[in-house]
């Protein structure tokens, strides 16, 4: 289940498991931040904004940042994978 601040766009991308969010999971469910280390969401750095001239309504500046993530499933029974560049030599 995708929580707040997460946008599953699989149906728009040929069923690829792609999820969009604000950088560092800003405004996302706290469980995402609790399960990862090194993320520091900061509204000043990671939010979306328009700088609009008040008289004409003209956009003077805009800033939009996104994070693209790939959804994956953890399988406990898969504990090791082997990369073999020469299949004839892999056992």
The CA–CA distances, whole Å, from 14 to 57, 69, 77 equal 38, 16, 28
Question: For the whole prediction, is pTM greater than 0.85?
Answer: no
pLDDT band at 88 (very low <50, low <70, confident <90, very high): low
The CA–CA distances, whole Å, from 77 to 73, 74, 81, 91 equal 12, 9, 11, 20
- The answer on pLDDT for 65 being more than 80 is yes
Whole-angstrom Cα distance, residue 13 to residue 27?
Answer: 24
Q: Each residue of 11-61: pLDDT tens digit?
A: 777 788 888 888 998 888 888 888 888 888 998 888 888 899 999 999 999
Cα end-to-end span (Å), the chain = 39
Whole-angstrom Cα distance, residue 15 to residue 91?
Answer: 34
């Amino acid at each position: 289940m995708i929580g707040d601040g997460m946008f599953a766009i699989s149906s728009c991308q040929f069923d690829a498991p792609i999820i969009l969010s604000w950088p560092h999971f800003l405004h996302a469910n706290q469980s995402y931040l609790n399960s990862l280390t090194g993320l520091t969401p900061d509204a000043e750095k990671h939010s979306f904004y328009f700088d609009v001239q008040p008289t004409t309504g003209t956009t003077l500046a805009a800033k939009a940042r996104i994070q693209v993530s790939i959804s994956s499933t953890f399988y406990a029974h898969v504990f090791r994978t082997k990369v073999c560049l020469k299949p004839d030599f892999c056992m």
